[in-house]
Structure 1
């Protein structure tokens, strides 16, 4: 018979999964509604003094601006997470992103306050990025440090699962408001998804506030008094290989994760003339398929290892690059759906689902939050942040042709496959040990693990 302690333990495990999944979904809902708005409306409302094509390009560039503040958020909140614990930082990051998102929903446009409108938009985007810099890492670490050793991949997958749910909700919300009459949508309809986040973030904070600290942090850091004074510096100095593997692994996962859905959405609507509602439904369908795929690939990584699953995702995403644009250019709703399902539901899902446990396992407990968050978000600047704007610039350079963007996506996929090949395998490692990888930059690229 189950004792009261066992039942309470199971209830707390369910709360950990719910809090990480729901909180991650709500936070990334906030982050991704910006990408939809940047692709569909911000160019017309905040950059009205520019040519429409240039305005869209600049709006997509402001999406990338948020990635500049993410490493700073990773440093600040990661440091606090390794010093104070995982729980309080999860609440703080969600609150920061929620405030930034809600304020975008009430921001005056260029027609009202002129140049101050795009300036304030960029500032609020930086606030979003600052909070997002440690949100995902904290959610993953909370899950992985509570998980049974042989199921860390499965448990960790609930954080990226939340991201998929958040992106799907963002796409669905914008799909609904985009069905409004054009004038009403431009006047106030686009604001609704941003303002809805207030209620959603409040619920996420309520759920996360009920969690307890992770047993790994309590046992490996607090009880041993093993807190690092400067965890980010220790992560770089003692585990440089892990740090560089995370950077390389992010190139395809993050680059493709924003190139295909964000730029793909803009390309389909603005370049190919696809209806906004059809494009958003197709994108939402891709995210819908991504949810079970993340669980499946994460469970597979518990059986055969993180590296083979991750490398498969990177190579698949590279292989699908040219077919992705060919499917969009058919202007067929069926092939539009297939394009987003294959990129989001297979390639990105294989990398994103496996990434959660893999990145957490690469670092020791006293510097896990800092190493994970900073390295991951530094990769965002290189890969995900510039991907939509770089893609738009390549299409403009090629006079509307998509082939340079496909080549760009292939390069990202191959680089990630190489980086993970030279990384260590971690799925059977002891995550309470403070050393997770060989030290010394000389060992980084000598041979695959």
Structure 2
């Protein structure tokens, strides 16, 4: 570990929020992202066990499942658009306004999905409306993650930036846990009732969760480093998205490739594996969902461990470790999924969703934030992450389903797919240096003297 000089510590402290403000910020980041991913992952789970029978009824099971996962992919395709739009606005008008908008859009859209008629009631309009709402969901999620990550990242002290930024990533398994448990509870109903209305309850509950998050986010302030950047370059004179592509395309490409493997773990083990086990084995969907929820708890634990370790040992080193784990465990995890053992299914999900994803994705928020200066940080992190999500998770369930069919039920091709994603992220990590030891003003390319002068003038 490096030792910070007293003057560096002084500027770092000036930029950091108070302990009370920080607790509020982290809670906002966690709960807001949890709502977004509660809705988004709830859809991913329902796509594997409900939508293929409700919105694509009458087709053979494999075709219905592929089409259902196609609607899931539509949301992932829309996520980069959300990252582009809301990331740009977050750099131009502020993180808070964007975060309020994304939560409202997501909550309203998910509630409408819960009220959507089936194809038996309105025919082809049912899947069309489902895809439309899914695309809007994707745009909202695309705008959420970057801003939620940065409110923690930019308000934290340097020695805890990784942990603070990880709260937005912890929101994903938290939302997964809540959504999966509620859906699992509904799945214990008789199959006819569950397909008729039981699956809708978790989606309609989004409206309640949305109001809670809006109340909390109203009390969160912009970071000092963003306010400083806004004073130096008023919104009317800034074009963050153009600046990002023109001047920061290398770190953008790097952040994109590094983010792919963590998203692949989510797509494979968080969505595809659940549907695969329910279809191939004789286990009840409610039991499979409960085990997935248990894995979500351990995912939170490993994200905390990995992000804390990244603050101590550096982001790059921990992310490399996570990707090497993915390469090592890909074949053993797929072999476990091929068995009819529910115990081995849980162990596979624990290793893939919790351990591998925890280390390959937990420190990613801080890593991505450290690639860009404040003026384009929201755009850079949002665009990189959302394109990585689309490439790593958006089509992965569909591809994995097809590869399993090509392999005649053997999953070695799926394992190779996972290894390929991890290799891409390792290459991205190898192209850049670790920046976790740099202060916010150093990430902006400013000296200590310039930063301390700006802090002093802002206090005057």
TM-score tier, shorter chain, comes to over 0.9
Aligned with residue 165 of structure 1, among 166, 174, 180: 174
The answer (yes or no) to whether the contact 1:366–1:434 under 8 Å persists in 2 is: no
1:14 aligns to 2:27 (yes or no) = no
Measured in 2, the distance between the counterparts of 1:405 and 1:393 equals 9
The equivalent residue for 2:7 is none
* Residues 49 and 330 of structure 1: CA distance in aligned 2, closer, same or farther (over 3 Å): closer
The equivalent residue for 2:451 is none
The answer (yes or no) to whether the contact 1:239–1:435 under 8 Å persists in 2 is: no
The equivalent residue for 1:446 is none
1:366 aligns to 2:339 (yes or no) = no
Measured in 2, the distance between the counterparts of 1:49 and 1:9 equals 58
The equivalent residue for 1:351 is 360
The equivalent residue for 2:45 is 36
How many residues get paired?
Answer: 429
| Structure 1 segments unaligned to the other structure (5+ residues) | 1-7, 437-449
The equivalent residue for 2:63 is 54
The equivalent residue for 1:92 is 101
Please report how far the alpha carbon of residue 377 of structure 1 lies from its aligned counterpart in structure 2 after TM superposition.
Answer: 1.0
Please report how far the alpha carbon of residue 279 of structure 1 lies from its aligned counterpart in structure 2 after TM superposition.
Answer: 1.2
Q: Could you say what secondary structure the match of 1:66 adopts? A: helix
1:143 aligns to 2:157 (yes or no) = no
Measured in 2, the distance between the counterparts of 1:229 and 1:68 equals 27
Q: Could you say what secondary structure the match of 1:362 adopts? A: coil
Measured in 2, the distance between the counterparts of 1:61 and 1:393 equals 12
1:392 aligns to 2:393 (yes or no) = no
The equivalent residue for 2:230 is 222
Measured in 2, the distance between the counterparts of 1:276 and 1:343 equals 19
Aligned with residue 324 of structure 1, among 327, 333, 345: 333
The equivalent residue for 2:310 is 301
The equivalent residue for 1:412 is 421
The answer (yes or no) to whether the contact 1:285–1:340 under 8 Å persists in 2 is: no
Aligned with residue 77 of structure 1, among 75, 78, 86: 86
The answer (yes or no) to whether the contact 1:272–1:329 under 8 Å persists in 2 is: no
The equivalent residue for 1:125 is 134
Between 416-425 and 108-117, the greater mean CA deviation after superposition: 416-425
Q: TM-score, normalised by structure 2?
A: 0.90
1:208 aligns to 2:217 (yes or no) = yes
Deviation string, structure 1 residues 293-328 (Cα, Å, up to 9, x no partner): 111110100111111100111121122111112222
The equivalent residue for 2:458 is none
Measured in 2, the distance between the counterparts of 1:201 and 1:258 equals 25
Please report how far the alpha carbon of residue 424 of structure 1 lies from its aligned counterpart in structure 2 after TM superposition.
Answer: 2.5
The answer (yes or no) to whether the contact 2:322–2:359 under 8 Å persists in 1 is: yes
The answer (yes or no) to whether the contact 1:294–1:350 under 8 Å persists in 2 is: yes
Measured in 2, the distance between the counterparts of 1:322 and 1:305 equals 28
Please report how far the alpha carbon of residue 226 of structure 1 lies from its aligned counterpart in structure 2 after TM superposition.
Answer: 6.0
Between 139-148 and 149-158, the greater mean CA deviation after superposition: 149-158
Give the helix-richer structure, 1 or 2.
Answer: 2
Measured in 2, the distance between the counterparts of 1:373 and 1:128 equals 15
Measured in 1, the distance between the counterparts of 2:312 and 2:347 equals 29
Please report how far the alpha carbon of residue 62 of structure 1 lies from its aligned counterpart in structure 2 after TM superposition.
Answer: 1.0
1:380 aligns to 2:383 (yes or no) = no
Measured in 1, the distance between the counterparts of 2:191 and 2:325 equals 38
Measured in 2, the distance between the counterparts of 1:96 and 1:321 equals 36
Please report how far the alpha carbon of residue 398 of structure 1 lies from its aligned counterpart in structure 2 after TM superposition.
Answer: 2.1
The equivalent residue for 1:445 is none
Deviation string, structure 1 residues 196-255 (Cα, Å, up to 9, x no partner): 111011101110011111111012x12322656221221122122211111111221111
Please report how far the alpha carbon of residue 120 of structure 1 lies from its aligned counterpart in structure 2 after TM superposition.
Answer: 0.4
Q: Could you say what secondary structure the match of 2:389 adopts? A: helix
| Structure 2 segments unaligned to the other structure (5+ residues) | 1-16, 446-460
The answer (yes or no) to whether the contact 1:254–1:384 under 8 Å persists in 2 is: yes
The answer (yes or no) to whether the contact 2:303–2:362 under 8 Å persists in 1 is: yes
RMSD: 1.6
Aligned with residue 260 of structure 1, among 250, 253, 269: 269
Measured in 2, the distance between the counterparts of 1:376 and 1:323 equals 28
The answer (yes or no) to whether the contact 1:248–1:416 under 8 Å persists in 2 is: yes
The answer (yes or no) to whether the contact 1:226–1:366 under 8 Å persists in 2 is: no
The equivalent residue for 1:285 is 294
The equivalent residue for 2:6 is none
